[in-house]
Structure formats: C-alpha cells, structure tokens
Structure 1
Amino acid sequence: MKTTITFNLKPVSIICAFLLFIAVLKLPIEYYTFLRIVIFIGSLLVIVSLLKQVIWVIIFSIIAILFNPIIPIYLYHKSYWIPIDIIAGILFLLILFFNNPKEGSKKTETKKQREFKRDKIY
C-alpha cells in the first residue's frame, strides 16, 4: 500500500520567504546559521510534499544544497548571497500559488452532485 505525506505548505513557505527576505539585511552570523537550518528543513518539506512535480523537486534540491547546515557552502561575500536569498524567497512564495488546487473545479463538482441528487429524487 502506497502512503503519501501531505501537509499544508502555506505556513512553511511564508516563514521561509520572510526569513530569506530579512537575510538581505546586515545581521549577526547566528541568524544566518539559524536561516540555513530553517531553509534546509523547509526545502526538504517542499520536496517531500511535491514529489510528483519534478521541476519543483529539482529547484528545491538546489536550495537545500545551498542552505544545508551539515556541509555549509560559504560564498564569503554578502553581495553573492543577497540575490540567492531574494530568488529563494520568491520561489518559496511561488509554491503558494502553484501548489493550490483549483477552487473552481471543486465548486463545479459539488454543483453537479447537488443537481444529480435533486434530479434523482422522484
């Protein structure tokens, strides 16, 4: 039996994007260590929940590698990290829009079911 892990990505994406946009500011090194941990975990959660969408898995695998706290990648200049932080933050926000199911299809299905039930009553 195949089990799938599903959870709401909205809070994870919002928190990760917010932390990445704050990372553009000049902050102590402890914040960036914390950022690596949170973004790494957040990108792994996105990967696990969107396994069937290969492009998102590839994109967030790259983010996980860049921000991994186990074997950190150091670019040594803040100016290199600023565009990476902004792009990663935008990608976390894009997940909010592309991961949502179509609400219109749910409404039409319930409308059809209601019509069917009503028509079937004799």
Structure 2
Amino acid sequence: MIYNHKYFILDTNTKRVLDENNKELRLTGNSYRVLVFLCANKSGTVTDIGGYLDFAKDYDENHIRQYRYKINLIIGHDIIKYENNLYFLSSEVLETDKIEKNERNTDLLQQKYVKSKQELNESKVPKKESKKLNKIPALIAIIVLLLSFIDWPLYSYYTFLKIIVTGVAIYYAYYLYDVLKKKNFWFWSLVVIVILFNPIIPIYIYNKSIWMVIDVIVIGFLVGLIIKNKK
C-alpha cells in the first residue's frame, strides 16, 4: 500500500518514505511503524500504537512521544499531532497503488536552496570595514610628550601625560590586534609603553633625564607607527 500525504509518501511494499520532492528519507524501526499505523488507522492512543508495535512490550507515553518527535524531525514538518490522548496526522492521507513520478529535478532544487540559504546567511553577517589608522591620537600624544620637556611646577601634568600616552598606546595596540590581526614588533612595543606609562601601577624613575630619553623614543616610535601604517 502507498500512502500519499501532503508532506510525504509512504510505500509499505518497499518500506520507503519519500518527502514531497520524492527524496528518500531515512525513517526506520518503530518510528517507521508508528507512521504506518497512523496512515492506516488515522489516529490512535498510546495503547493502540503500543499494541501495534509489540503487544508483549509495555510502551508508555515517553516512547510514543520520542517516535513522534523523530518522525516530525526527519520529515521536516509537524505532521503528527496530539490532542485528547490521541495521536493523528495533521492532513488527509490518500491511498494509492503507485507513486506518482515527480518530474522535477530535486537534486538541482536542493542545490539552489542550499546556495540561496548560504547567500542569505552571508548577507546577514556584517562585513568588517578596513579602518584606516587614525593619526590624531598619536599627534596628541606627541604634543603632550614634547610639552613634557618644559619644567612644569606641578606634578599633575606628568600624571596627565601618563594617562594620555597610556590611552593612546592601548588604542593602537587594539587596532593592530583586532583590525590588522597583527602581534608584531609594533604591537609589543605598545604593550611596553602601556606598562611604562600606566598611572595605575606606576613605574618610578626619579632621574628626569632617563624619562626625557624615554619620551624621545616614544615620540619617534609614534611617528614611525604613523608612517608604517599610512595608506
């Protein structure tokens, strides 16, 4: 016997289940037998279905629920419903003697479907823009470092300098790591600058001449960074 449903075709002679595009589905075992029972009997209780599967075995609600879930999953539609303690098919099932030939090229349709789905998913993924290196933070840090050569009466300026330089170094380190995907000399040099200038856990160097040398090196480094990443 062949049962024609809106979403599947069941051939009890060959024990095959086809989807609406005549593509064979891997539905076997008790899940297949539950589908046969519902096609033949239209509906049934847990006891009815369990008796059909194996009269000697005690099938409970959990067993039938699992078979229902598997059938719906494989066919791809919620074809088995459950109401008032009855399991039944969602649409009418027609009995025929032969499977109607589907002239459509289902493999081609499937390929087109998969391709269109992939294109749709790709279109939803936001493209990461290639950001240019922003030179303004580096220029600000360079100016602040140059002004440090003035003998400021207040130490608060040097704290301000550390905050600016640390922030700029973190910004460019993030740029190299996240945008350019690089962990090279420039990246690790910025990490060193963050460690030297960070105001949270400060490194104390009481010789101003040494700080002046460090400031000159950092200025040169920032200039080199701008030139290196100029586009």
Please give the range of the TM-score, normalised by the shorter of the 2 chains. Answer: 0.7 to 0.9
Verify the 8 A CA contact 1:7 1:49 in the aligned structure 2: no
Decide whether the 8 Å contact of 2:133 with 2:229 is kept in 1: no
**Counterpart residue number, 2:184:** 54
CA RMSD of aligned residues (A): 2.0
Per the alignment, residue 66 of structure 1 pairs with 196
Q: Give TM-score, length-normalised by structure 1.
A: 0.75
Is there any run of 5+ residues in structure 1 with no aligned partner, and where? 102-122
**Greater helix share, structure number:** 1
Take 2:139 and 2:132, find their aligned partners in 1: how far apart are those partners? 14
The ranges of structure 1 where at least 4 consecutive aligned residues each deviate by more than 6 angstroms after the TM superposition are none
From 156, 159, 166, the counterpart of 1:33 = 159
Q: Distance between the aligned counterparts of 1:47 and 1:55, measured in 2?
A: 11
Q: What's the secondary structure of 1:31's corresponding residue?
A: helix
- Residue type at the aligned position of 2:161: L
Task: Look up the SS of the partner of 1:70 in the other structure.
Answer: coil
C-alpha change, 1:55 and 1:84, in structure 2 (3 Å) is same
TM superposition shift of 1:3: 5.6
Among 124, 137, 140, the alignment partner of 1:15 is 140
Higher relative contact order (CA 8 A, sep 6+): 1
Instruction: Tell whether the 8 Å contact from 1:36 to 1:69 is kept in structure 2 after alignment.
Output: yes
Q: How many residues in Structure 1 have an aligned counterpart in Structure 2? A: 101
C-alpha distance in 1 between matches for 2:151 and 2:223: 23
Please tell me whether the aligned partners of residues 133 and 226 of structure 2 are also in contact (alpha carbons under 8 angstroms). Answer: no
- Per the normalisation by structure 2, the TM-score is 0.41
Residue type of the alignment partner of 1:98: K
Matched, 1:24 2:154: no
- C-alpha separation between the residues in 2 aligned to 1:6 and 1:70? 30
Provide closer, same or farther for how the CA distance between residues 72 and 11 of structure 1 changes in structure 2, counting only shifts above 3 A: same
Structure 2: how far apart are the matches of 1:64 and 1:18?
18
**Identity across the alignment (%):** 32
Q: Is the 8 A contact 1:5 1:49 kept in 2?
A: no
List per-residue Cα deviations over 1:19-68 (Å, max 9, x = no partner): 11111221120100000101000000010111215111111111110000
Unaligned runs of 5+ in 2: 1-124
Distance in 1 separating the partners of 2:183 and 2:141: 20
Paired AA for residue 30 in structure 1: S
Larger radius of gyration: 2
Question: What displacement does 1:92 show?
Answer: 1.1
2: CA distance between counterparts of 1:42 and 1:5? 20
